[in-house]
Amino acid sequence: MDSSEQEKVDGDIGVEKKKDKTANGYGGDGGEPKGTASSADQDSGDFYDVEIEKSNGEKEEKPPQESKEESTSISSKTEEFNDKEITINSPKIYCNARNHYLPAIKSQAHLPKPDPPATPRVERSQSLSIAETMPSIGKYISDRSSSFSAAIVRRLSSWKEDNGDLVMKNNSLNLEVTEFHIPGVKVIVKLKSEAERLGLDLKGRISFFTRSNCRDCTAVRHFFREKGLIYVEINIDVFPKREKELIERTGSSQVPQIFFNEKWYGGLTALNELRNSGEMEVKLREMVGERCPEGAPPIPVYGVDDEEEEDDVLLETVRSLRKTLPIQDRLIKMKMVKNCFSGVDLVEGIMDHLDRGRKKSVITAKLMVQKHFFHHVFGENEFEEGNHFYRFLEHEPFIMGCFNYRSSTNDSEPKPASFLADRLSKLMFAILEAYASDDRLHVNYSGIDRSEEFRRYLNVARDLQRVNMKLLSPNERLALFLNLHNAMAIHAVISIGHPEGVLDKRAFFNEFLYLVGGYPYSLNIILNGTLRRNRTSPYSFFRPFSKGDRRLELAPPKLNPLIHFGLCNGTRSSPAVRFFTADGVESELRCAAKEYFQRGAIQFNMEKRTVYLTRIIKWYNEDFGTEKDILKWVMKYLDSTQSGLLAHLLADDGHINIMYQDYDWSGNL
């Protein structure tokens, strides 16, 4: 076999190997085929893009406009693989071996020079450029991807027609997306909006006024979401100054009120009539077919604080004392106390600044303590003149760990506690309606972080620094602490993330603090110190409050075990996130417990006479009583099927095994 024949055979072998590797459509890596179907690959034209997910959970999402980049990246990988093949099958070794045995003959000058021997063509291994291999490989990958995507779409259409193993699931966070679960493949289809389906070019604006926690407003919101129509929501609980505009436009403060451009259409009843009449398309063309005029309700301005702040009447005196008092570190009762001052120096400073007698100056100092400008270093008294030492709020050692503290304390006149509690609940209701799923089991934390509602909530949280919590009724206090716990959990997830390990849990539950009423509160303190009346947390031997802690005064008169089903810590096994009203907090807690147990917090194995309960009950079993008492207590919050199974187990007085479910600490994203 001469050199040319050897070269041809070797080249054919290399080509055959490459064909075997790539002709199967797996891109040379032994994996499953991947592809993205664009709108051109689809038969029905009812959706824009198809995302294909492999059965093992790995997912690739490639928009159609990135198909060229996709081909580039795959081509470079294939070229790298094929380069290795070329190196293996290169005939270079034969060439070198033959030349090694050729005798060296010195040519004679008087004879014609012989032609040099033919050198076999050597395949390049490492010098092959991407530009040379890109057209063929890229075209091959693109063709394979398109054909595979088209096959998936045809298969999807056939299963849809045959009503086979096709499961449709609405994503409640984005009602424009529908998931089709096919054995081995997961296809996510983005549906066209109502305007796009009807071919409407909506240039105007749909806007409506709402309030937080309003059922009719929720119905209107869902209607526009299902239709895929863009709208502007003006929540007058978030933007309270817009209520005056609502009254001027409609003559009433009732919500919802819908506007198509500048035209007032009505509320939920009018929207239902429009939907039932079948004239939705006509009305949309008439009302929002043109550009929005200036007379339409303006879009809410974000990032602007329209709530007025009023300085505290004692602020000028406090500022003077901060500058003139001898604030220094002192050794008191064998402890080094930093940044403190004596009560005698404080009274003399007030006398000098206000030019009043000692008795009135002492009264002024007590008023400052009540407004939480400063506290006793050991919390022994509110204020007494003499050898007692105090510290300004901004000098407390815990202050820098408070996430509602911004470089300085809030020196504005404290707002009424009932007003702040109501404002907090309304803002958090608005956040859930916009950034949580309908069942409130999944929360869009990144969306909350960028929202105007959350920015305004942070302002309310800052107003809690010096609020007088003692002025609240027991139900108002209970609702506020429940809401504050759930709001702090959302804020903690945004700021420090979900807890993944032991150290993360400590930071999440114990070190993420709010300054409320002059004192620090963590998630652990709210639950175990306040709501559970100073009981130890699971796997702990220490109570949150020491004897004489003034935060104990805010604990409810009696522990209510239902609180455990109203608190959400941002994990999947915790109850759904929710917020409460002062008037209905008791009934709302009962609803929360029923919802939690009916969602799987209790399960039965009748053959083994075993009841599987949520691990929350194990952690806080002293709040529920003995095991038999727990089962009787739980029965009040079960549905008819669950209560029937439990009653059957309890009827014969036989032994019942109680086991506890595993707790899922992953985030409720």
Question: Could you give the CA distance from residue 167 to residue 385 in angstroms, rounded to a whole number?
Answer: 75
Residues 585 and 614 in one domain: no
75 pLDDT more than 80: no
338 pLDDT more than 80: yes
Q: Where are the beta strands (DSSP E) in 280-430?
A: 328-332, 335-342, 374-376, 389-392
Pair 235, 211: CB distance under 8 Å: yes
pLDDT of residue 140: 65
Residues 560 and 645 in one domain: no
Question: Could you give the CA distance from residue 619 to residue 568 in angstroms, rounded to a whole number?
Answer: 15
pLDDT of residue 230: 87
Question: Could you give the CA distance from residue 122 to residue 119 in angstroms, rounded to a whole number?
Answer: 9
pLDDT of residue 56: 44
Q: How confident is the model at residue 282 (pLDDT cuts 50, 70, 90)?
A: confident
Q: Give the DSSP H or E segment for 144.
A: helix 130-162
pLDDT of residue 48: 40
346 pLDDT more than 80: yes
- Tell whether 506 is covered by a domain: yes
DSSP state of 255: S
pLDDT of residue 155: 60
Count of all residues that appear for the chain in the document: 669
pLDDT in tens, 88-141: 343 333 344 434 444 444 444 455 555 555 544 544 444 444 444 555 666 666
Domain count, the chain: 4
More confident residue, 159 or 616: 616
And the tokens for 334? 């064998």
Among the listed ranges 177-186, 373-382, 591-600, which one has the minimum average pLDDT value?
Answer: 177-186
Look at the pTM and tell me if it is higher than 0.75: no
- Tell whether 474 is covered by a domain: yes
pLDDT of residue 180: 55
648 pLDDT more than 60: yes
pLDDT of residue 115: 58
With H, G, I as helix, E, B as strand and everything else as coil, classify residue 374: strand
362 pLDDT more than 60: yes
Question: Could you give the CA distance from residue 649 to residue 615 in angstroms, rounded to a whole number?
Answer: 21
Looking up residue 369, the CATH number of its domain turns out to be: 1.10.10.10
Q: Which of 306, 174, 294, 193 lies closest to 241, judged by CA? A: 306
- Tell whether 648 is covered by a domain: yes
- How does 50-59 read in b/e, with b if 16+ C-beta sit within 10 Å? bbbbeeeeee
Question: Could you give the CA distance from residue 563 to residue 582 in angstroms, rounded to a whole number?
Answer: 14
Residues 485 and 507 in one domain: yes
Pair 31, 102: CB distance under 8 Å: no
116: how many CB neighbours lie within 10 A of its CB?
6
- Tell whether 368 is covered by a domain: yes
pLDDT of residue 114: 55
More confident residue, 500 or 235: 235
Looking up residue 270, the CATH number of its domain turns out to be: 3.40.30.10
Q: How confident is the model at residue 30 (pLDDT cuts 50, 70, 90)?
A: very low
Residue 189 backbone phi and psi in degrees, to 5: -115, 130
pLDDT of residue 87: 40
512 pLDDT more than 50: yes
pLDDT of residue 40: 39
The residues near 315 (Cβ < 8 Å, ≥ 6 apart) are 411
More confident residue, 57 or 208: 208
pLDDT of residue 78: 40
Among the listed ranges 176-180, 255-259, 493-497, which one has the minimum average pLDDT value?
Answer: 176-180
pLDDT of residue 454: 96
User: Which of 362, 394, 426 is at the close of a domain?
Assistant: 394
High-pLDDT (> 70) share of the chain, %: 70
49 pLDDT more than 70: no
pLDDT of residue 197: 61
Domain residues for 261? Answer: 194-287
And the tokens for 132? 């040379």
∠ Cα 565 570 576 (to 5°): 40
Question: Could you give the CA distance from residue 276 to residue 257 in angstroms, rounded to a whole number?
Answer: 19
Q: How confident is the model at residue 308 (pLDDT cuts 50, 70, 90)?
A: confident
And the tokens for 298? 């303006």
pLDDT of residue 310: 86
pLDDT in tens, 567-589: 999 999 999 999 999 999 999 99
pLDDT of residue 359: 92
DSSP state of 438: T
Q: Where are the beta strands (DSSP E) in 273-371?
A: 328-332, 335-342
Residues 566 and 618 in one domain: no
Tell me what the mean pLDDT of segment 637-654 comes to.
92
26 pLDDT more than 50: no
621 pLDDT more than 80: yes
Residues 437 and 345 in one domain: no
- Tell whether 219 is covered by a domain: yes
Beta bridge partner(s), residue 513 = 402
Q: Give the DSSP H or E segment for 664.
A: none
Question: Could you give the CA distance from residue 25 to residue 144 in angstroms, rounded to a whole number?
Answer: 7
User: Which of 590, 614, 640 is at the close of a domain?
Assistant: 590
pLDDT of residue 42: 39
608: how many CB neighbours lie within 10 A of its CB?
10
Q: Which of 631, 470, 482 lies closest to 565, judged by CA? A: 482
Instruction: Tell me how many helices (H) and strands (E) the chain has.
Output: 22, 17
Question: Could you give the CA distance from residue 364 to residue 354 in angstroms, rounded to a whole number?
Answer: 10
And the tokens for 412? 């504005």
Pair 161, 153: CB distance under 8 Å: no
Residue 122 backbone phi and psi in degrees, to 5: -100, 125
pLDDT of residue 33: 39
pLDDT in tens, 284-293: 777 777 788 8
pLDDT of residue 364: 95
Residues 390 and 484 in one domain: no
User: Which of 590, 609, 634 is at the close of a domain?
Assistant: 590
More confident residue, 646 or 1: 646
Burial class (CB in 10 A: 0-12, 13-18, 19+), 563: buried
Residues 642 and 585 in one domain: no
- Tell whether 123 is covered by a domain: no
Residues 561 and 461 in one domain: yes
Residues 426 and 389 in one domain: no
Residues 382 and 531 in one domain: no
257: how many CB neighbours lie within 10 A of its CB?
24
Question: Could you give the CA distance from residue 330 to residue 347 in angstroms, rounded to a whole number?
Answer: 19
Dihedral over Cα of 516, 518, 521, 525: its sign: negative
Pair 253, 211: CB distance under 8 Å: no
High-pLDDT (> 90) share of the chain, %: 57
- Tell whether 401 is covered by a domain: no
Pair 238, 453: CB distance under 8 Å: yes
Residues 477 and 444 in one domain: yes
Residues 325 and 275 in one domain: no
Beta bridge partner(s), residue 303 = none
Nearest 10 degrees: Cα torsion 334, 338, 339, 341: 0
And the tokens for 200? 């409407």
pLDDT, mean over the chain:
79
Question: Could you give the CA distance from residue 111 to residue 119 in angstroms, rounded to a whole number?
Answer: 23
- Tell whether 389 is covered by a domain: yes
pLDDT of residue 91: 39
